[in-house]
Structure formats: structure tokens, C-alpha cells
């Protein structure tokens, strides 16, 4: 019997516990959807990164390059596909392509944002 929780299961647990931030669930979302390009530590050195025309950014430096504040709205918009500039690789899928829509997708987006905020250096 497998005891691991799915993203849906984690969303339900988080809702029951009233969790606002769920870094663990965010890491699961990141590992499933982002790690291949952005790397295990978020430094843009994933196994697929060197195959892209534009290298993925170092996600651990977002706060530092934004004056010491995590740019949550800008990162969220980038993940969902809004306001992407020329500096984005066309290889990065929009979040809805990966997560769909609705409450579970919203939970996953919030969770991955919490995770990214937690890895800032």
C-alpha cells in the first residue's frame, strides 16, 4: 500500500488545517513541473536547461534582484503566462497547461509560490 499524498490530498489536508503557506506541497509541484529545467535547488541548472535556447533563471535570487522583497505577483504572473517578456524561454509552459484550473490549480500555484519564496538567498 502506498502512503504518499497526492497534490489533491495535500490541498485537502492544508484546507482542513487552515494552512496559509504550504512549502512542502509547493516543493512537490516544483519537483513535478519545474525541476527538469530550473534544477533541484532552483538555480537554473536542471537536466534539460542546457538544451534550451535561453537558460532558466536562478530562482533563488528573485528576492535579491528585487530589492530584498520576493516579487510574488510578478512571479505568479510569469508562471501563469501573463506578462512574459522576451527574456522567457518559449519552452516554459503556462501553469494552466500543467495544472488545469479551479481550486486545486489555485492551491498548487500558491504552494509553488510559497516554496519559491522559501528558497530565496
Domain 7-118: CATH architecture, name and number where available: Orthogonal Bundle (1.10)
Res 21: pLDDT: 55
- Alpha-carbon distance of 52 to 109, in angstroms, equals 24
- Alpha-carbon distance of 95 to 90, in angstroms, equals 13
Q: Of 31-35, 54-58, 63-67, 79-83, give the lowest mean pLDDT range.
A: 79-83
Res 18: pLDDT: 45
Going from N- to C-terminal start, the domains of the chain cover 7-118
CA dihedral of 14, 19, 24, 26, whole degrees rounded to 10: 90
Is the pLDDT assigned to residue 13 strictly greater than 80? no
b/e sequence 50-64, b meaning 16+ C-beta within 10 Å: eeeeeebbbbbebbe
- Alpha-carbon distance of 116 to 98, in angstroms, equals 17
Query: Looking at per-residue confidence, does 40 or 11 come out higher?
Result: 40
Q: Encode pLDDT of 93-118 as tens digits.
A: 777 776 677 788 888 999 999 999 99
Res 16: pLDDT: 47
Average pLDDT, the chain: 82
> Residue 40's CB: how many other CB atoms inside 10 A?
11
Percent of the chain with pLDDT over 70: 78
Amino acid at each position: 500500500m502506498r502512503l504518499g499524498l497526492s497534490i489533491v490530498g495535500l490541498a485537502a489536508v492544508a484546507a482542513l488545517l487552515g494552512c496559509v503557506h504550504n512549502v512542502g506541497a509547493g516543493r512537490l509541484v516544483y519537483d513535478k513541473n519545474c525541476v527538469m529545467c530550473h534544477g533541484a535547488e532552483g538555480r537554473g541548472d536542471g537536466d534539460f536547461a542546457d538544451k534550451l535556447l535561453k537558460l532558466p533563471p536562478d530562482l533563488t535570487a528573485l528576492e535579491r534582484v528585487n530589492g530584498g522583497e520576493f516579487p510574488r505577483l510578478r512571479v505568479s504572473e510569469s508562471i501563469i503566462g501573463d506578462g512574459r517578456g522576451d527574456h522567457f524561454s518559449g519552452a516554459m509552459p503556462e501553469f494552466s497547461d500543467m495544472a488545469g484550473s479551479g481550486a486545486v490549480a489555485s492551491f498548487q500555484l500558491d504552494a509553488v509560490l510559497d516554496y519559491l519564496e522559501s528558497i530565496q538567498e
